[in-house]
């Protein structure tokens, strides 16, 4: 049997239908003036430079006594965890009785070009942790680090173990030399010194270019072809546009921090070897002796599961839990399954340990 059973006139009809849908659907886009994101109510509790610490208003009368601080990546914006009401890890965790804080790194401008990883980790994260401790009269809080924010959380916890009760890492790169991730392979040949000299801050558009190049056909072509089929459904259309906004809402990366992250972590793979130094102190993951929950997405093309799984063998804790979640790097926050399962799992794990 010949494997393609399409006649030319059917193909043409399909193309005409496609075009008709697209043109008609454009009116639906015009009607959507605002793309609203991050719907969960929150208050500003602390500012330092351009960094803002938010506290989400609890949704239970007596939330968990030990709050959770979410540390997101510097790449892209943290509202991915609260992209819309029915796809919100934040909202789901609040429903489970968690008390949540989130660090918003802002959009570094040229004056912030000299910010280092030490500034981010021993500076901003430390300040936020101290503020939360003081607000709650605690000497330890829970930390939930996401992606690069997970790597930062590992560094912070290794350097300040006395401040962290439980550590949760999500889709977090740990072994940067695993060979099943394109970013790991590509970054080895980057002259990051010249890049930072050329750019100052590394532009968000440049970062996006790199991410799109990981799956160019899916992300630059197929996605928009598929989009046509949701044009006549307002809710789906809004969800699509929110995701588009998030993808392309990319802050620039502070030059020095970017240089360090590429050289020390991606190229040198020093985290796993215990050779990273921040503020004159060595980051020793063996210092992480509190309970750790490590969550990874088993189809993650940005942070391969093998990179995250490497954590188990390098931390000092005896209480290590691994959670493999179906889907990709973003699906872990927005998929229907994650809405049902992820937050309850995290909340249960935390509550058993506070």
Partner 1 sequence: MSWNEQMEQATKAWTDLQRTWWERWMPAAGETAGTGDGLWSQWLEGWRRQMARSLETWARGRPGLPPQVVRSLFAGEEVFFRFVAFVSQMLQSLAPQIEAGEDWVDLLRRYVDQIKKDLEENPLRWLPTAQGTATVAAELPGLWRLWATEAQKMMAPWMESTREAGGHLGEAMAGDRRAVLKMMNVFWDTYESTLGRFLAAPAIGYTREFQEKAARAYETWVDVQRAQAEFQAEVTNAGVRAMETLLRELVERAEKGKPVTSARQLFDLWVSCAEKAYFEVASTESFAEIQGRFVNAAMHYRVHERQIVEAFARTLHLPTRTELDDAYRHMHELRREVKALRRELDALREARAAQETGPKKPTVGARRRGRAKAAGAGKTTANEAQTEPTAPAEAGPKQEG
Given candidates 41, 60, 85, 213, which one binds partner 1 under the rule CB under 8 A? 213
What string of DSSP letters covers 47-66? EETTEEEEEEPPSSSS--SS
| Contact set for partner 1, span 107-136 (CB under 8 A) | 110-115, 119, 123, 126-127, 130-131, 133-136
**If you ran DSSP here, which 8-state letter would residue 316 be given?**
-
Q: Is 147 a catalytic residue?
A: yes
Are 228 and 84 a contacting pair, CB within 8 Å? no
How far from 247 is each of 48, 68, 73, 204, CA to CA, in Å?
Answer: 26, 26, 13, 10
Residue 340 CB, nearest approach to partner 1 (Å) = 28
Minimum Å gap between C-beta 88 and partner 1 is 22
x/- map, 289-328, partner 1, by CB under 8 A: xx--------------------------------------
Using rule CB under 8 A, residue 45 touches partner 1:
yes
Considering only residues 160 to 179 of the shown chain, the ones binding partner 1 according to CB under 8 A are: 161-162, 165, 179
Number of CB atoms found within 10 A of residue 61's CB: 6
Check binding of 57 to partner 1 (CB under 8 A): no
Beta carbons within 10 angstroms of residue 247's beta carbon: 16
281 belongs to the binding site for partner 1 (CB under 8 A): no
Among 85, 86, 197, 233, binds partner 1 (CB under 8 A): 197
Q: Which is nearer to partner 1, 59 or 160 (CB)?
A: 160
Give the residue with the Cβ less far from partner 1, 54 or 296.
Answer: 54
Query: In whole angstroms, how far apart are CA 326 and each of 32, 169, 298, 333?
Result: 32, 16, 5, 11
Residues 172 and 154 sit within 8 Å (Cβ to Cβ): yes
**Closer CB to partner 1, residue 241 or residue 314?**
241
Contact flag: residue 16 with partner 1 (CB under 8 A): yes
Dist CA 12 CA 3 (whole Å): 19
Which entry of 64, 128, 147, 155 is annotated as an active-site residue? 147
**Rule CB under 8 A: is residue 15 a binding residue for partner 1?**
yes
Q: Cα(56)–Cα(64) distance, rounded to whole angstroms?
A: 13
Residues with a catalytic annotation lie at 147
């Amino acid at each position: 049997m010949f494997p393609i059973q399409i006649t030319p006139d059917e193909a043409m009809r399909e193309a005409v239908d496609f075009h008709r849908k697209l043109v008609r659907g454009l009116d639906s886009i015009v009607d959507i003036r605002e793309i609203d994101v991050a719907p969960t109510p929150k208050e500003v509790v602390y500012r330092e430079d351009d960094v803002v610490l938010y506290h989400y208003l609890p949704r239970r009368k007596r939330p968990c006594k030990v709050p959770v601080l979410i540390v997101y990546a510097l790449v892209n914006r943290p509202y991915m965890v609260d992209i819309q009401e029915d796809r919100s890890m934040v909202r789901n965790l609040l429903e489970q009785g968690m008390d949540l804080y989130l660090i918003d790194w802002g959009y570094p401008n040229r004056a912030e070009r000299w910010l280092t990883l030490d500034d981010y980790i021993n500076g901003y994260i430390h300040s936020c942790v101290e503020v939360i401790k003081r607000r709650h009269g605690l000497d330890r809080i829970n930390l939930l680090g996401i992606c690069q924010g997970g790597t930062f959380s590992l560094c912070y916890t290794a350097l300040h173990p006395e401040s962290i009760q439980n550590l949760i890492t999500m889709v977090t790169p740990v072994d940067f030399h695993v060979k099943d991730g394109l970013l790991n392979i590509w970054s080895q040949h980057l002259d990051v010194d010249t890049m930072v000299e050329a750019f100052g801050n590394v532009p968000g558009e440049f970062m996006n270019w790199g991410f799109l190049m990981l799956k160019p056909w899916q992300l630059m072509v197929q996605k928009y072809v598929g989009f046509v089929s949701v044009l006549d459904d307002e809710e789906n259309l809004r969800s699509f546009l929110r995701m588009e906004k998030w993808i392309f809402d990319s802050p620039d990366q502070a030059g020095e921090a970017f240089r360090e992250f590429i050289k020390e972590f991606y190229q040198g793979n020093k985290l796993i070897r215990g050779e990273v130094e921040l503020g004159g102190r060595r980051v020793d993951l063996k210092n992480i002796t509190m309970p750790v929950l490590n969550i990874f997405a088993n189809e993650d093309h940005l942070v391969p599961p093998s990179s995250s799984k490497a954590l188990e063998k390098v931390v000092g804790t005896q209480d290590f839990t691994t959670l493999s979640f179906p889907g990709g790097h973003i699906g872990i926050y927005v998929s229907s399954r994650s809405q049902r399962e992820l937050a309850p799992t995290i909340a249960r794990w935390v509550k058993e340990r506070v």
